[in-house]
Amino acid sequence: AGDTAADDTSWLPLREELAGIAPYGAPQLDVPVQLNVNENPYGPSEACVADIAEAVAEAARTLNRYPDREFVALRTALAAYLSRDVAAGQAPITPEQVWAANGSNEVMLQLLQAFGGPGRTALSFAPTYSMYPEYARDSNTAWVAGRRREDFALDLDAATGLIAEHRPSVVLLPSPNNPTGTALPPAAVDALCAAAAEHGNDGRGGLVVVDEAYGEFRRAGTPSAIELLPTHRNLVVSRTMSKAFAGAGLRLGYLAAAPAVTDAIRVVRLPYHLSATTQATALAALRHTDELLGQVDALRGERDRLVDWLREQGHDVAESDANFVLFGRFADRHAVWRGLLDHGVLIRETGPDGWLRVSVGTPAEMAAFRDALTIVTKENQ
């Protein structure tokens, strides 16, 4: 839909850097087994659906009015949820530390609108989430990508060296990383925050955004970067309701940071960017936190079994703290991706050459994936 590639666009006053660029997004195909965009495969219960419907009906009664521009009730509920991740003795997260927008993509674009811009640099380490350079492009921020090690972990010396060299205003660090699943140890976040404070933004200090979109799927033992907020005022922790929280359709991402950071974002946000129905839906979903997160442990177990099985089949597999697994390497990964699709299994053709990424689904979906991959790898040997 909307594919007008054949139309003449040469007359458009399009920004030069956008010419010929395809919009970002995985294929949205109607196939039985969808393991391509790292969603939670478990939908809400009827009780949760009824509660959301009632909350949206209540919001609809005053839809003639603009919504709460500061979304105080939602920030308060998100602060309470984030406070589950503070360390023993650490103060709870306050509503003034929380910001939200329509997905964490919008949250991070707003961060670059406020803290990036012409003459400034955003930095990350590849392979990583492919939207990051798009936030940079769209906010006219220069983009620098260092490399990860062979095992997809960060080489800390090289990473801090790159920060000293390029003096970025914003460092984007997903933990776990997409598409590799690699989590960042707290000591690494600590060192990178210190490096960004010292060298970032031409020595005035840059922000470090730890993107914990998949944070709830971490294996035991790696705490959230939330624990480091009291130590580093330049640290921003980004989260989303799209993944573990089973709310991809809701479009609600959020962050925790120093109140000065959230205050600055208010300058670039569009007025009333969070609709009344979004706020009502998110608040209702947060009342069902335990249910919506209820399958996270099962998904972690399914992930670990998937990693073991892929290794048994002789594939290379990246360690994963997320709800997806990067595996390979295939001489013709497109043929494998296509072959799986022919068996009704949609995964993602992304990551370094030869690798593919599969999201963790229900046990039945994983069985379908294993069966299809067994056939397709034989065909592609």
Binding site for ligand PMP (CB under 6 A): 38, 103-105, 129, 174, 178, 211, 213, 240, 242, 253
Residue 122 DSSP label:
E
Report the SS3 class of residue 85. helix
Question: How far is the CA of 55 from the CAs of 62, 228, 354, 375, in angstroms?
Answer: 12, 35, 46, 47
Nearer to ligand PMP by Cβ, of 25 and 271: the residue is 25
d(CA 345, CA 366): 10
DSSP type of residue 137: H
Question: Toward ligand PMP, which CB reaches closer, 213 or 317?
Answer: 213
Q: Whole-number minimum distance, CB 360 to ligand PMP, in Å?
A: 14
CB of 245 to ligand PMP, least distance (A): 10
DSSP state letter for 146: E
Closest to 17 measured CA to CA, from 105, 143, 146, 127: 143
Pick from 91, 33, 77, 37: nearest CA to 213 = 37
Nearest residue (beta carbon) to ligand PMP: 103
**Residue whose CB is less far from ligand PMP, 237 or 372:** 237
State the nearest-atom distance from the C-beta of 267 to ligand PMP, in Å.
Answer: 21
Compute the least distance from the CB of residue 59 to ligand PMP, in Å. 21
Residue number, 168 or 181, with CB nearest to ligand PMP: 181
For residue 100, what are the β-bridge partners? 254
Helix (H, G, I), strand (E, B) or coil at 214: coil
Least gap, CB of 128 to ligand PMP (angstroms): 8
Q: Which is nearer to ligand PMP, 37 or 194 (CB)?
A: 37
